[in-house]
Structure 1
Amino acid sequence: MSTNRAPAPRPETSPWVFSTREMGRRPGTMRTVTRSVPGPGTERADEAIGLVGVLAVPPGSPVELDLRLESVSEGVYVSGTAAAHLAGECSRCLDELDEDLEVRIEELFAYPDSVTEETTDSDEVPRVVDEHVDLEQTVRDAIVLELPLAPLCSEDCPGLCPECGGRRADLGPDHRHETLDPRWAALRERLPSD
């Protein structure tokens, strides 16, 4: 018996927790579920799904789950999709971004006392605890892994002018700032200006 035990899932009232009781431990038994899970609130930033301030599921925005739970010899295999609306800002011009994302979910939850549970750490393979699986971390990880490191409003976004901070797309192609090398500043004062 393994000494590594996963923490118990949150109460059954959590929308992320699914019961596997009716499937028993009969390999091949399967059930499909669809559920709309409300996104995290604004109370704690560490509960956000995504990168807060960059691109994340807005507080209270739902995550749509369309899943299949299948009993296999070592546990419950969960597969399907999770879809969510994301909000954030362009990393170049700081304009607001809104986009929809759908990610694939494929995760094995190990049964207690299975070979998988005994041979893996709890942070490698999640566990079936009290005939329930908690999908929050699985969905969170799948969404975060699909996020771009630097989200853009368009691939050719020109960004902001480093001198005045204006959006280059609005400023036009002839937008320039006169820059004078400080070493020549004294000479400029002595020359007449046209």
Structure 2
Amino acid sequence: MKKQSEFVYDLRSMGLLGHPGEWERVNTTLSAPADLKIEVIGVAEGSPLALELMFESVSEGIYVSGTVSATARGEDVRTLDEIELPIDVDIREMYVYEQAEGDEDSYVIDRDQLDLEPAIRDAVVMALPFSPSKDRSEEFSFTLGEDLEVDDSESDSPFASLKSLLDEKKES
């Protein structure tokens, strides 16, 4: 028999199945599943994934809200240095008892069990930065070596020679 994922919760044992108004908090740390990543950064499989969630029973199903926290590791896109970025993602998902016709995006409760892995995967992967950098506040500078001094005098202007030609034409 296949081992049940640690992301699957039995709603009957939690006392939430068919009891609108009931709720339960889940604060736990799980091992991150595979493929929580994009090209240059991601959460490594097996690394800690902290869940602080609330399961609320409503008439249509179970509403799950809270946060998922992890540490993403990857490469700085400018320097290719190794970086670590904390990831804190809000989860707000409705798990329905029955999927409406034409609704392919809803998460469905299957055999009184709720699987958090797809919702967590969607939220974490979407929160990963497309172009991660070590210091997001630092602006990239093309200056190498000493900073150049800027002189606003007219003679240094690329249009100074054109202006002198125009002045010569006016005089003649």
Q: Normalization by structure 1: what TM-score? A: 0.67
2:30 matches 1:48: no
Q: Name the counterpart of 1:78.
A: 64
The structure richer in strand per residue is: 2
Partner of 1:173: 145
| CA distance in 1 between partners of 2:145 and 2:45 (Å) | 39
C-alpha deviation, 1:101, in angstroms: 0.9
What is the Cα-based RMSD across aligned positions, in Å? 2.1
| Cα distance in 1, alignment partners of residues 28 and 21 from structure 2 | 22
C-alpha separation between the residues in 1 aligned to 2:25 and 2:43? Answer: 24
Give the alignment of 1:147-158 within 5 angstroms.
147-155=128-136, 156=138, 158=140
Q: Which amino acid aligns with 1:89?
A: E
Q: Percent identity?
A: 33
Q: Contact conserved, 1:31 with 1:69, CA < 8 A, in 2?
A: yes
Choose from 125, 135, 138 the match for 2:106. 125
Deviation at 1:25, TM superposition (A): 0.7
* Residue 88, structure 1, aligned to residue 74, structure 2: yes
**Which one-letter code corresponds to 1:49 in the other structure?**
L
Query: Which of residues 145, 158, 162 in structure 1 aligns to 2:126?
Result: 145
Counting only pairs closer than 5 Å after superposition, residues 101-116 of structure 1 correspond to structure 2 as 101-112=87-98
Structure 1 runs not aligned, ≥5 long: 1-10, 41-46, 160-167, 175-194
Partner of 2:152: none
The match for 1:14 is 5
Unaligned runs of 5+ in 2: 147-172
Quickly say closer, same or farther: Cα 1:109–1:38, change in 2 above 3 A.
same
TM-score, normalisation: structure 2: 0.74
CA displacement 1:34-76 (0-9 Å, x = unmatched) = 2211123xxxxxx310214x11002321111111111101011
Q: Once the two structures are superposed, what CA deviation does each residue of 1:84-107 show, in whole Å capped at 9, x if it has no partner? A: 011001111111111111100000
- Are 1:93 and 1:158, in contact at CA under 8 Å, matched by a contact in 2? no
* Count, aligned residues: 142
Larger Rg: 2
For residues 125 and 100 of structure 2, the distance between their equivalents in structure 1, rounded to whole angstroms, comes to 29
Deviation, structure 1 residue 83? 0.4
SS of match in other structure, 1:118? coil
* 3-state SS, counterpart of residue 142 of structure 1: helix
